[in-house]
């Protein structure tokens, strides 16, 4: 297959690119490197630096290669940042997708796999979230993704664009070969931040709120290994190309861990004490997000391999210890 991966130099996109090329697909990555890294695009994928909003560039790419499928990852994705600068999120995320869909339509490329998020659900009273759970985003990031999902769905109705929307829960870990991993500046995600203590880069962790209505008062999240998430994308592509109906899937482990439990697991894994301070709640944070992944297991036959927290922490630890400066200084 000829595949365009928009945002394929980022943490999640790069893991999907690697699995696609490992499966012998021909992959072109378009990424503006705002948060991604050219070094994260593993060979033989082709990397092109550019912005998804640049329709002239998109037209050039689409006229040179007849794409079978487009994967969309190019988005700002920090809950915290989106609370401070919502217009950045609506502009980049939503208008970038519109440009891509316009050009896809012009060139009659009608298949898209879209990277969405559990942040579309917001605060829900349902302990286990299914794809039918009401979407009430609690932050502009989640709202922008919900808008993008809706845009894709209307393009399905109007132009017969076929889609799979994957709503990721909390993605963590790194590729097992140790070549690619997570490298954000600044890092805001819990697991890499906690690992910074035993790595000697940070002295303590601030837990954002201890008075949530959860098992220990700290927020609860569902952590899914990035390698299992990548596998879900390949299954979603095969599903669409086999002529199946466009749809939405949650991708999570169906287990909730509190922020405190994550810290304790890293302490146990690294055998090092992680000092904790309690801070105020972070604006825009839902109290708990746990996926039902029943649908993706039943319909796509997705079988995650790395379901325990230790394998997530182990792969992340290997990446961070072998790449103390992330991709910096790499060829
Ligand atoms: N947390 C802390 N201290 C920190 C960092 C995080 O207490 O220093 C807490 C957060 O408040 C949150 C939990 O740890 O409750 C996880 O935080 P992350 O920043 O790792 O992840 P989020 O749940 O905020 O968001 C992530 C992705 C989003 C995605 C969402 C889906 O960043 O893009 O998961 O659940 F939408």
Kindly state the average pLDDT of the residues 194-201. Answer: 96
The reported pLDDT for the residue numbered 331 is 44
Is residue 254 within 8 A of residue 291, CB to CB? The reply is: yes
Kindly state the average pLDDT of the residues 187-199. Answer: 96
The reported pLDDT for the residue numbered 330 is 60
Q: Is the pLDDT of residue 329 over 90?
A: no
Kindly state the average pLDDT of the residues 288-292. Answer: 96
Residue 222 alpha carbon to ligand 1 centre in Å: 10
Is the peptide bond between 44 and the residue preceding it cis, with omega within 30 degrees of 0? yes
The residue contributing the CA closest to ligand 1 atom 14 is: 190
For 239-285, how does the pLDDT look when each residue is reduced to its tens digit (9 = 90+)?
999 999 999 999 999 999 999 999 999 999 999 999 999 999 999 89
CATH of domain 2-172+224-251: 3.40.50.720
Instruction: Calculate the CA 261 to chain-centre distance.
Output: 22
Q: What is the DSSP string of 249-285?
A: EEES-S--EEHHHHHHHHHHHHT----EEEEPPPTT-
Residue 271 alpha carbon to ligand 1 centre in Å: 24
Kindly state the average pLDDT of the residues 300-326. Answer: 96
Kindly state the average pLDDT of the residues 88-99. Answer: 97
Is residue 142 within 8 A of residue 120, CB to CB? The reply is: yes
Q: What is the mean pLDDT of the chain?
A: 96
The reported pLDDT for the residue numbered 178 is 84
CA distance linking residue 223 with residue 229, whole number of Å: 11
Q: Which atom of ligand 1 is nearest to the CA of 193?
A: 8
Q: Which atom of ligand 1 is nearest to the CA of 284?
A: 24
**What are the structure tokens assigned to 157, written together?**
């109705």
Kindly state the average pLDDT of the residues 161-166. Answer: 98
3 state SS of 248? strand
Kindly state the average pLDDT of the residues 31-43. Answer: 97
Q: Is the pLDDT of residue 84 over 60?
A: yes
- 92, 119, 218: residue to mutate for ligand 1 pocket, most atoms within 8 A of CB: 119
* Catalytic positions: 141
Residue 3 alpha carbon to ligand 1 centre in Å: 30
What residues contact residue 210 under an 8 Å CB cut-off, 6+ apart? 216, 217, 218, 278
The terminus-to-terminus CA distance of the chain in angstroms comes to 28
CB-defined site of ligand 1, < 6 Å: 77, 79, 117-119, 169-170, 188-190, 193, 205-208, 219, 221, 259, 282, 285, 289
For 217-246, how does the pLDDT look when each residue is reduced to its tens digit (9 = 90+)?
999 999 999 999 999 999 999 999 999 999
Q: How big is the chain, counted in residues?
A: 331
Residue 282 alpha carbon to ligand 1 centre in Å: 9
Delimit the domains of the chain by residue range: 2-172+224-251
Q: Which atom of ligand 1 is nearest to the CA of 208?
A: 7
Q: Which atom of ligand 1 is nearest to the CA of 170?
A: 34
Number of C-beta neighbours around residue 53 at 10 A:
17
Task: State residue 263 phi and psi, 5-degree precision.
Answer: -65, -45
Q: Is the pLDDT of residue 290 over 70?
A: yes
Helix axes 96-106, 140-159, angle to 10 degrees: 20
CA distance linking residue 155 with residue 162, whole number of Å: 9
What letters, b where the CB count within 10 A reaches 16 and e where it falls short, cover 145-156? bbbbbebbeebb
Model confidence at 125, pLDDT cuts 50, 70, 90, reads confident
3 state SS of 187? coil
Closest CA to 317 of 267, 275, 277: 267
């Amino acid at each position: 297959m000829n595949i365009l991966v928009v945002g394929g130099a980022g943490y999640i996109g790069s893991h999907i690119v690697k699995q696609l090329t490992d499966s012998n697909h021909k992959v072109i990555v378009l990424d503006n490197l705002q948060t991604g890294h050219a070094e994260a695009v593993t060979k033989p994928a082709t990397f092109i630096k550019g912005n998804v909003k640049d329709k002239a560039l998109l037209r050039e790419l689409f006229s040179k290669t007849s794409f079978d499928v487009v994967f969309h990852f190019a988005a700002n994705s920090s809950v915290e940042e989106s609370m401070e600068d919502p217009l950045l999120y609506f502009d980049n995320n939503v208008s970038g997708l519109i440009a891509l869909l316009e050009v896809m339509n012009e060139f009659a490329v009608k298949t898209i796999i879209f990277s969405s998020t559990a942040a579309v659900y917001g605060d829900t009273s349902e302990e286990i979230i299914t794809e039918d759970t009401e979407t009430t985003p609690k932050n502009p990031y989640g709202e922008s993704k919900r808008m993008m999902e809706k845009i894709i769905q209307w393009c399905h109705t109007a132009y017969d664009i076929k889609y799979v929307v994957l709503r990721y829960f909390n993605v963590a870990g790194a590729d097992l070969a140790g070549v690619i991993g997570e490298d954000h500046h600044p890092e805001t995600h819990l697991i890499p931040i906690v690992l910074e203590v035993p790595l000697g880069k940070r002295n303590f962790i601030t837990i954002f709120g201890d008075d949530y209505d959860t098992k220990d008062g700290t927020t609860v999240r569902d952590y899914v290994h990035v390698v299992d998430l990548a596998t879900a994308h390949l299954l979603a592509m095969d599903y669409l190309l086999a002529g199946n109906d466009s749809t939405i899937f949650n991708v999570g482990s169906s287990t909730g861990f509190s922020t405190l439990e994550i810290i304790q697991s890293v302490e146990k894994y690294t055998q090092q004490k992680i000092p904790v301070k309690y801070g105020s709640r972070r604006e825009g944070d839902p109290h708990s997000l746990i996926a039902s992944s029943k649908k993706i297991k039943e319909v796509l036959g997705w079988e995650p391999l790395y379901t325990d927290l230790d394998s997530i922490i182990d792969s992340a630890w290997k990446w961070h210890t072998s790449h103390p400066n992330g991709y910096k200084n790499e060829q």
